[in-house]
Amino acid sequence: MHTLFEPRLVNDAFGDPGLYVDFRDEPRGLLFDLGDIAKLPPRKLMRLSHVFVTHTHMDHFSGFDHLLRVVLGRKTGVVLFGGPDFIAQVEHKLRAYTWNLVHRYEVGLAIDACEIGTNGRGQRARFSSRTRFAREPCASFELPGDVLHEETTFRVRGRFVDHDIACLAFAIEEKARLKVDKDRLVGLGLGTGAWLRELKHAVLTGAAGETPIDVRWHDRHGDHAMTRSVNELRPLILDVVPGRRIGYVTDLRYSEPNIQTLVQLLAGVDLLFIESVFLEEDAAHGARKNHLTARQAGRIAQRVGAKAVVPFHFSPRYEQRSADLIAEVRAAWSGS
């Protein structure tokens, strides 16, 4: 089945956490966590539109410098999302360098930092190379539920889990996929054109039935143009296939409130990336470090009803025992 995204971990399970979500139909990517990203080639970093940071422990944020180094002078903008204090932390990163020349670069870079508060309010600030990355405050905003970012074809949701500190867990959701019935199209005497994309967009975004669509196409008889309402055209839409949903969950303690939060965010998710840092035999150590064991990760995957699970963020102490970690996750997930 054709899907919008191709998600892949940036590093192996012992490396810094990070998920690169590639778009299949356009040169674009999303990144979840910004630790060691040296394995990502510059062309993949150049394609990033949005980066979502769970929390700013070093293994999740130290790659900021690498990203900046690659895109500075080459890319016009990138949007970063993070939790409490995120804007100040981005600002401190930028303040650590000397910017006496950067305002003259031919390609200017704007970094938009979005900070999500635990109170459900967001703040946005811009740092532009044109003004030597001086902070330009923008308005604060109310988050529509847990939706952090939304476009026609997908949305990213986020909720806080407890990792001793507030840490964001993410859901990456492809919206419903629409197909057009070609026979009905011919039956209505219409031809295919860019207007079909407009119609799908209208249906996906829940536009009012009377919304007019400019129906234009070209065939061997020449150009055709007419206006039809969304309601008149809706029968052309077939096969509303539910989109694929992906979960990215890392750095949290095992607690009932955390599980409840993840159930609200990720129930029935198609693919769950979840930290599995310690073996169950080291559960007491895991609890002290505010991390999950592999068995706890598997139990969470089962509670949310994940259809597939990919464990990661393994502690280096198990260098020779990754199979044990994977087996423990799978056993708990499948309930055996």
Query: Are 114 and 122 contacting, i.e. CB atoms less than 8 angstroms apart?
Result: yes
57 makes contact with Zn ion (CB under 5 A): yes
Nearer to Zn ion, 44 or 57 (CB): 57
Alpha helices (H) in the chain, listed in sequence order: 42-46, 58-61, 64-71, 86-95, 182-187, 195-204, 230-233, 256-266, 283-288, 294-304, 322-334
Amino acid at 97: Y
> Rounded to the nearest whole angstrom, what is the least distance from the CB of residue 163 to Zn ion in the complex?
5
Nearer of residues 57 and 149 to Zn ion, judged by Cβ: 57
Residue 173 vs 251, nearer CB to Zn ion: 251
d(CA 252, CA 259) in angstroms, rounded, equals: 10
| Interaction between residue 59 and Zn ion (CB under 5 A) | yes
Q: Which stretch binds Zn ion (CB under 5 A): 80-88, 169-177, 251-259, 323-331?
A: 251-259
If the CB atoms of residues 7 and 18 are measured against Zn ion, the closer one turns out to be 18
Closest approach, Cβ 166 to Zn ion, in A, equals 11
Helix (H) or strand (E) segment spanning residue 9: strand 5-9
Q: Give the nearest distance from C-beta 196 to Zn ion in angstroms.
A: 44
Q: How far is the CB of 251 from Zn ion (least distance, A)?
A: 4
Q: Which of residues 309-328 bind Zn ion (CB under 5 A)?
A: none
Q: What's the closest the beta carbon of residue 165 comes to Zn ion, in angstroms?
A: 8
Q: Which is nearer to Zn ion, 129 or 250 (CB)?
A: 250
Which tokens in the block code for residue 145? 């539920």
- Considering the complex, what minimum distance in angstroms separates the CB of residue 320 from Zn ion? 21
d(CA 334, CA 297): 12
Q: Helix, strand, coil proportions of the chain in percent (round to 5)?
A: 30, 35, 35
Q: In the bound complex, what is the minimum distance in angstroms from residue 257's beta carbon to Zn ion?
A: 18
Q: Which stretch binds Zn ion (CB under 5 A): 54-62, 169-177, 255-263, 292-300?
A: 54-62
Instruction: For tokens 């840490």, name the residue.
Output: 167
Q: Site size for Zn ion, by CB under 5 A?
A: 3
57 or 135: whose CB is closer to Zn ion? 57
Q: In this structure, is the dihedral angle defined by the CA atoms of residues 273, 275, 279 and 283, taken in order, positive or negative? A: negative
- Please check whether residue 174 is in contact with residue 156, taking contact to mean a CB–CB distance below 8 angstroms: no
Structure tokens at 128: 């532009």
Closest distance of CB 10 from Zn ion, Å: 13
| Site stretch for Zn ion (CB under 5 A), options 26-34, 55-63, 84-92, 326-334 | 55-63
Joined together, the tokens standing for residue 82 give 């993070």
Please enumerate in sequence order all residues whose Cβ is within 8 A of that of 310, keeping only pairs 6 or more positions apart, or say none.
Answer: 9, 271, 272, 273, 274
Please identify which residue in the block is written with the tokens 């629409």.
178
Segment near Zn ion (CB under 5 A), from 135-143, 181-189, 243-251, 252-260? 243-251
Look-up of token digits 């995204």: 5
Please give the DSSP secondary-structure letter assigned to residue 308. Answer: S
Specify the residue, 36 or 251, whose C-beta has the smaller distance to Zn ion: 251
Query: With respect to Zn ion, which residue has the nearer C-beta, 174 or 251?
Result: 251
CA distances (Å), origin 173, targets 28, 100, 195, 309: 16, 41, 25, 16
Rounded to a whole number of angstroms, the minimum distance from the CB of residue 140 to Zn ion is 26
Stretch that binds Zn ion, among 113-121, 143-151, 172-180, 244-252 (CB under 5 A): 244-252
**Binding region for Zn ion (CB under 5 A) out of 57-65, 89-97, 154-162, 184-192:** 57-65
Confirm or reject binding of residue 251 to Zn ion (CB under 5 A): yes
Residues of this chain that bind Zn ion (CB under 5 A): 57, 59, 251
